[in-house]
Structure 1
Amino acid sequence: MTTNTKERVALVTGGSAGLGRALCTELARQGWRVVTDGRSEEKFTEADLPDGVTALVGDLTDAEHRATLLAEVDGLGRLDLLVHNASTLGPLPMRPLAEVEVADLAHVWRTNVGGPLVLTAALLPRLRASDGVLLSISSDAAVQHYEGWGLYGASKAGLDHVTLTYAAETGVRAYAVDPGDMRTAMHQDASPGEDISDRPLPETVVPHLLALLDARPESGRYRAEDFR
């Protein structure tokens, strides 16, 4: 499998806002070539991502869009880091499990688990050839039980399981990472009317993620704040 660039290459899903945008920006600043995606062209315009980041508009659950991402990575000839960051809370306002419909479950799991599962499968040859890392952004809701967060939390638990099973089955280094609370649009959507200005900005989480990548511990579930 040929390598077309000496620069490290990352694919970060959901890079138009929040933690995804912050991570893409810092990776590019450090000399990485970054491919990212998101559903809104308008958000990418607002994001003003730096040179070195290629942004592709599309939905991760769409097979044609995944093929476009794969082609972009193949054109670069390597993949050192795959980050599953894109996700959905599901129907808003968030609701108890007793009020969840099958269609809600299908949508959240298709986005938060299914998309990452099949995208990882497609990119495994590149990831393994570069001795790369699979990193999935998880949540404390994957292991704790909060009212209204059951659907989202179950999907993140599923993402954790998929991520670490890939590590067990293929030997690829894989991490499911809880980034902690952040001041993002998604968190505000989950907490309508609540003042979340005391939460740290996503940019403050990025150094912890990069410290994790530098440390390269054994595959597992980690908290970002434990790496400095």
Structure 2
Amino acid sequence: MHIDLTGRTALVTGSTSGIGHAIATAFARAGARVVVNGRDEKRTDEAAARIRAETGNPEVHPVAADVGTEEGAEALIAAEPDVDILVNNAGIFAATPVFEIPDEEWLRYFEVNVLSGVRLARHHTPRMVGRGWGRVVFVSSESAVHPSTEMVHYSMTKTAQLAISRGIAQAVPATGVTVNSVLPGPTLTPGVEKFIADRVGPGVPFEEAERRFIAEERPTSLLGRLARPEEVADLVLYVSSEQASATTGAALRVDGGVIPTLIP
């Protein structure tokens, strides 16, 4: 399957590293004009430069803005008021015992992981409808369906994304705009690498730490390893393409079989 996004503009939030960076790179390879977003201007500029160098696509543009705040979301919208593809990838996670999570942390996770995508989708989706074509993708998680005991607040936000993406899809039927969520499983990103190292303990080679984490904390994995960001990006690229025109309102798994259910 050849996916060509020439002439499309794609915005990927939280794309300076990890899954977001892999998604932005995949879009650039497919010929899209890509907007790279992160909170730090230097890191965002560097990420965009890496993608330009790696893909040979000069149309990769950095916009530094903290989409976890109302002001940051507004700044990003002002910088890029019209996009064809919106990927709500920005998010935070950390392991905290559920009874020790204070109110402000619940609210912070909701604002960064959920409201960031709501604010951007609220602006961009109607404009996509007006143009007759668009793709909105929420990067959720297997934790949306199979909550992580060690980070219930994170799981809560990922479940919320499923309801929001489905609800927005229902609000724009038969318009040429599709809205979906993608559910990665444990994926080898810098944040997850640190997360696993912290849980397994110091002095353990990462390959062994990865094996222990999957065996002990994600034993339902059929993949038997962490996914790679590029593997998640491939699904996001597809669902953002013309070829995925009949896929909307869906929760699409790229979880390595971690979720022990048939649907989603």
What is the TM-score of this pair, normalised by structure 2? 0.74
In structure 2, the residue matched to 1:160 is 162
1:48-102 residue CA offsets vs partner (Å, 9 max, x unmatched): 231221111120033333233223333xxx422110000011xx4x112111100
- 5 Å-filtered alignment, 1:101-140, equals 101-128=102-129, 129-140=131-142
In structure 2, the residue matched to 1:3 is none
What is the one-letter code of the residue matched to 2:137? L
8 Å Cα contact 1:24-1:36 kept in structure 2: yes
* Distance of aligned partners of 1:144 and 1:163 in 2 relative to their CA distance in 1, 3 Å threshold: same
Matched, 1:196 2:210: yes
Question: Per the alignment, in what secondary structure is the counterpart of residue 145 of structure 1?
Answer: coil
In structure 1, the residue matched to 2:235 is 208
| Runs of at least 5 residues in structure 2 that lack an aligned partner in the other structure | 1-5, 53-57, 201-208, 212-224, 257-264
Equivalent residues, number? 215
Q: Give the structure with higher Rg (CA).
A: 2
1:27-63 residue CA offsets vs partner (Å, 9 max, x unmatched): 1122101112111234335532312211111200333
| Runs of at least 5 residues in structure 1 that lack an aligned partner in the other structure | 1-5
What is the TM-score of this pair, normalised by structure 1? 0.85
What is the one-letter code of the residue matched to 1:83? V
In structure 1, the residue matched to 2:91 is 87
Which of 172-181 and 186-195 deviates more?
186-195
Question: Per the alignment, in what secondary structure is the counterpart of residue 141 of structure 1?
Answer: helix
In structure 2, the residue matched to 1:53 is 60
What is the one-letter code of the residue matched to 1:125? P
* Distance of aligned partners of 1:225 and 1:151 in 2 relative to their CA distance in 1, 3 Å threshold: closer
- 5 Å-filtered alignment, 1:58-69, equals 58-69=65-76
* Distance of aligned partners of 1:63 and 1:95 in 2 relative to their CA distance in 1, 3 Å threshold: closer
Which of 63-72 and 129-138 deviates more?
63-72
Sequence identity percentage:
27
* Distance of aligned partners of 1:211 and 1:124 in 2 relative to their CA distance in 1, 3 Å threshold: closer
Question: Per the alignment, in what secondary structure is the counterpart of residue 251 of structure 2?
Answer: strand
Superposition deviation, residue 157 in structure 1: 0.5
8 Å Cα contact 1:17-1:43 kept in structure 2: no
